[in-house]
Structure 1
């Protein structure tokens, strides 16, 4: 049975179990189902078609002046069809937006079976309808990508564009911080119209508008996927910002230079251990009051 016959029988609620399974396998099944749900709010009231037709014919016979009455049912149908097409166009062209909150991570699958893992306080946007023509996502925050083979795949951020020639890479775009790490394949990073290509282990890092050189990355995946954050020779303010995102707290620094370069790490599942990890190595003291933490250097 072809696509049109399946859709026609579906509209008439006339699908058997086997036909319904075939219908669910249609490429645009999700869009059709979404359209059907949206139309429930606009469903016209039930009426007897034969009875209505008899009434119209009767009126036509009784007087020519009343011939316009038959237009009303057609106008109703036309209005519903107009709403149908408008809703279908609207719902199938909407962007899909995925967000994470404080201390939240999530992994999603894109239309081509590529996967994206989002770190805390991050946002990802893509358009399912245009995916076959253009594999492109917008990112604000941090994400790890495993890209399926296919056409060019672009990650658009406020700081720069990441073009994929390989499969696995991490992108972190925060305030005045932009970092791309290639874990597998080849990745191109376009910043200020200039492209830099990264091989496995290579990094591209911009902090406060300055390019920062980094050592080769030895890990196979980002540390945050294993619920911990690792920082090597990075400003302490980046450690604090990530700590706040992972634990949803506010941190105040006293007598501490936030631009000081530090090498520390902390887990995402134990705040007490995490505080010790970022204070003891740096000889800092701390006090904690509900969701507020104060770090101090004596």
Structure 2
């Protein structure tokens, strides 16, 4: 009430000099002075200055909130962190994950449902974590051994065919135009082009350039390549050489060889010299080490 009284005295010109100096020093004086100035300039025939003043006095004053510079920076940093964390978790859930096994090494890892995967040399797998339990699907290029946890169906997609299981152990190999699947436990459904086949424990199927290959049943409990043995069924020299290159991480140069003979058998793969000796004996070749990681294979018949 006292503030309103002072304002009324000032507007009416009745404020003493000693009070006027103190009133002019108040923070709101500049606002009052502007109102008085602009009100005086209005050209209205019936302007009621007292009415304007009373409206100003009864209207609620908005509280002016101030944020310190430090608080402002704090809020900016917090906003950046919140956005960053949101983008990070979104990326974690929706991004594709890639597992890769370089030549000469194996890569063992687990999927979100604790299914176990061993990726053979020179192979790659891509999958997404988001909604994995309801959509257990991945893309494979190369060769991998799977021990699948129980749950929804599990799909392995390759450029040549698709393998579908529920919970089992199996091996999938896709190299160029060759597609092999072996079941070690449970049941596996294989889709290759327009064919759909089901195999059970101990059974294998293979296709090479669209042609079906008969593979005898086996009693082994896991892929031989896990124990440094490379097993081949009716495969040509080029395929065998490529597999040895991936396994040992070496370069094998073939010279003057024109041999279409298909090979079926097992090559021990703990020692590159022994593996090449077996290959050379089978195909009548000469193996020469050119450098630390390069070998040359030549036909003895051409010499």
TM-score by length of structure 1 reads 0.71
Q: Deviations for 1:270-297, whole angstroms, at most 9, x for unmatched residues?
A: 1111111111233322222011322323
Check conservation: 2:103, 2:248, Cα contact below 8 A.
yes
Corresponding residue for residue 267 of structure 1: 268
CA RMSD of aligned residues (A): 2.6
CA distance, structure 2, for counterparts of residue 207 and residue 289 of structure 1: 32
Corresponding residue for residue 295 of structure 1: 298
Label 1:169 to 1:193 Cα distance change in 2 as closer, same or farther (>3 A).
same
Cα distance, 1:173 vs. partner?
A: 0.8
Cα distance, 1:72 vs. partner?
A: 4.5
SS at match of 2:246: helix
Corresponding residue for residue 251 of structure 1: 252
Cα distance, 1:255 vs. partner?
A: 4.2
Corresponding residue for residue 181 of structure 2: 180
CA distance, structure 1, for counterparts of residue 246 and residue 281 of structure 2: 21
Q: Is structure 2 residue 53 aligned with structure 1 residue 82?
A: no
TM-score by length of structure 2 reads 0.70
Check conservation: 1:113, 1:148, Cα contact below 8 A.
yes
SS at match of 2:152: coil
Q: Is structure 2 residue 128 aligned with structure 1 residue 127?
A: yes
Cα distance, 1:216 vs. partner?
A: 2.0
Corresponding residue for residue 234 of structure 2: 233
Which of the two has higher C-alpha Rg? 2
Alignment of structure 1 residues 138-177 onto 2, 5 Å = 138-177=139-178
CA distance, structure 1, for counterparts of residue 182 and residue 192 of structure 2: 14
Label 1:68 to 1:295 Cα distance change in 2 as closer, same or farther (>3 A).
farther
CA distance, structure 2, for counterparts of residue 76 and residue 149 of structure 1: 45
Q: Deviations for 1:134-191, whole angstroms, at most 9, x for unmatched residues?
A: 1112111100111111110111111111001451111001111111111111100111
Alignment of structure 1 residues 1-298 onto 2, 5 Å = 72-73=72-73, 74=75, 77-290=78-291, 291-298=294-301
Check conservation: 1:95, 1:128, Cα contact below 8 A.
yes
Corresponding residue for residue 39 of structure 2: none
Check conservation: 2:147, 2:168, Cα contact below 8 A.
yes
Cα distance, 1:90 vs. partner?
A: 1.9
Cα distance, 1:196 vs. partner?
A: 0.9
Check conservation: 1:251, 1:295, Cα contact below 8 A.
no
CA distance, structure 2, for counterparts of residue 295 and residue 217 of structure 1: 34
SS at match of 1:276: helix
SS at match of 2:121: coil
Gaps of 5+ in 1: 1-61
